[in-house]
Structure 1
């Protein structure tokens, strides 16, 4: 008798048969993930009393997610973002660091670029003709025990006051509002920029249709991205958000959490200033794959 044949039409017997078919999966972690996923999928279908036509709609949606992805857009990442899954996974992975006072992680997002320009501390990441109020950013990279981390690589990128990254906007010079810095002996870095603006996530694919069906807005609050690489520490990807942005409390991808919501303070002249502490967890240094060349 085939091992996949089950003697009953009960959901419990079907689940047992499907789990048995996973028993010989070679990779232990894959086996564990599949087993948990199978259990939850079956439970979901029963709790939702899912109809065959509804299952078909859901499968067509997943196919559309794949079809909408390409070299310049990853609709699957966007789906994980707008459902809060990506933020949940990041916060859960960093839970021990957060208990010890580490900086909250946030989404890398689709706009980090490889080979961002290396700049000296204090330099501008925006061209002189980039419009918008001046923003001065100072920061320090620390280990969880408060030790300053000299020689850490700090990458930053942001949208313009129009809400566009330079690779989306032909009017901006290449690599505008981007930079790569190295911390000094005190773990410090600094740069000049302009105050960023919020912007909508892409809505030209199935994720946009889902947001519309949920009657949700599409906006991300104004923010600056940081990615920090220091030997002997886990890579930290995070963002700092403008608490005065109208969507600071309801980020469409649920990334504006905890201490990442910050006041962009007046510098007493015509600009603003932001000071950040980036507290990193010791561990293996694994740099994530960059989404844009």
Structure 2
């Protein structure tokens, strides 16, 4: 064995001994699941450091980056969610936790802009709340995987305005582009919103710097958020996306799924609306989204 080979073997042994020592430090963790998660995390982090031969400067830069993510996070902005989303970690977690089930509607990212105190609107109501944008009529059904209608399913809906901002991104406490409603006895639902448009995620912070450094766009494909809950059904968090959008293949958070791309059909001014609403000389769009909920046990 040459001196070089001996040194390499000794270095490998030192590194592996450290991994074993750190793993053993968690052996007495009372919570089995916590022990499993921490020990797996240790293995993956140490493997990453060893395989990439990470420098001390690079590790320090990584800590500085995470510190900056924490500093910019507040009650109106969640940079850690943005980081998770842009690394695809959010979508991977969703994939793991939403197993495929018959023709159940696919889930996608939750995002950082949901709020729990959105207003209620009746079927056919307008969720826009004055948000800027082209009016859009949204309708569909909620069924289970056997095709049975799901009545009284709660549907939380939220979206950005035509300028690419959610209401919580403004500083005037407005409530716009969000509401909740319930499906009727036939599982049907309908409401007015605004036609979704592409918009950039907040990119003036550390996550934006990461995207710029890697030549990635911060833009999200145009979408409308849904969260659908019903007894004995798996909660569905999803979007629908606009067919023909240029950003469908480069969504910054990897949220687009082919099954969720829908035709938002533009209507000419003067075209009669489904509920008789008078839109004057404005264009509007309409889209159908039939939702299928998986059983809660899946």
Normalization by structure 2: what TM-score? 0.86
2: CA distance between counterparts of 1:74 and 1:170?
Answer: 16
Aligned partners of 2:108 and 2:239 also within 8 Å:
yes
Once the two structures are superposed, the pairs formed by residues 58-77 of structure 1 within 5 Å of their partners are: 58-77=62-81
Per-residue Cα deviation, 1:102-125 (whole angstroms, up to 9, x for no partner): 111112212112221111111122
1:146 paired residue number: 147
Q: Which residue of 1 aligns with 2:296?
A: 283
Structure 2 counterpart SS, 1:274:
strand
Superposed CA deviations along residues 229-265 of structure 1, whole A, max 9, x for unmatched, are 1011121111111122221111000001131122212
Q: Deviations over 1:141-194 (max 9, x none)?
A: 1222222110110010111122122233468x8322222111111111100122
Which segment drifts farther, 258-267 or 70-79? 258-267
How far, CA to CA, are the matches of 2:166 and 2:57 in structure 1?
Answer: 40
Q: Note the 1:89-238 alignment, pairs <5 A.
A: 89-97=93-101, 100-127=102-129, 130-169=131-170, 174-238=174-238
Q: Are the counterparts in 2 of residues 226 and 238 from structure 1 also a CA contact under 8 Å? A: yes
In 1, the alpha carbon distance for the partners of 2:258 and 2:248 equals 11
Take 1:90 and 1:207, find their aligned partners in 2: how far apart are those partners? 21
Report the structure number with the largest CA radius of gyration: 2
Shift, 1:271, TM fit: 2.1
Match of 1:5 in 2: none
Hey, what does 1:291 align to over in structure 2?
none
- How far 1:94 sits from its partner (Å)? 0.9
Query: Equivalent of 1:81, from 62, 85, 89?
Result: 85
Which residue of 13, 19, 31 corresponds with 1:27?
Answer: 31
CA RMSD, 1 decimal: 2.0
3-state SS in 1 of match to 2:17 = helix
CA distance in 2, matches of 1:71, 1:170: 12
Q: Which runs of 5+ in 2 are unaligned?
A: 1-11, 272-282
Q: Deviations over 1:183-229 (max 9, x none)?
A: 11111110012212111111122111111111111101111000111
Selected match of 1:12 from 16, 20, 28: 16
Contact residue 155 and residue 179 of structure 1 kept, 8 A: yes
Other-structure match for 1:243: 243
Q: How many residues matched?
A: 274
Gaps of 5+ in 1: 1-7, 285-293
Aligned mates of 2:156, 2:43 — CA distance in 1: 41
CA contact (8 A) 1:152 1:228 kept: yes
> Shift of the alpha carbon at 1:9?
5.0
Please state whether the residue corresponding to 1:279 is helix, strand or coil.
Answer: strand
Preserved CA contact (<8 Å) 2:262 2:288: no
The TM-score with structure 1 as length reference comes to 0.87
Provide the rounded CA distance (Å) in 1 between the counterparts of 2:133 and 2:100.
39
Cα deviation for residue 131 of structure 1 reads 4.5
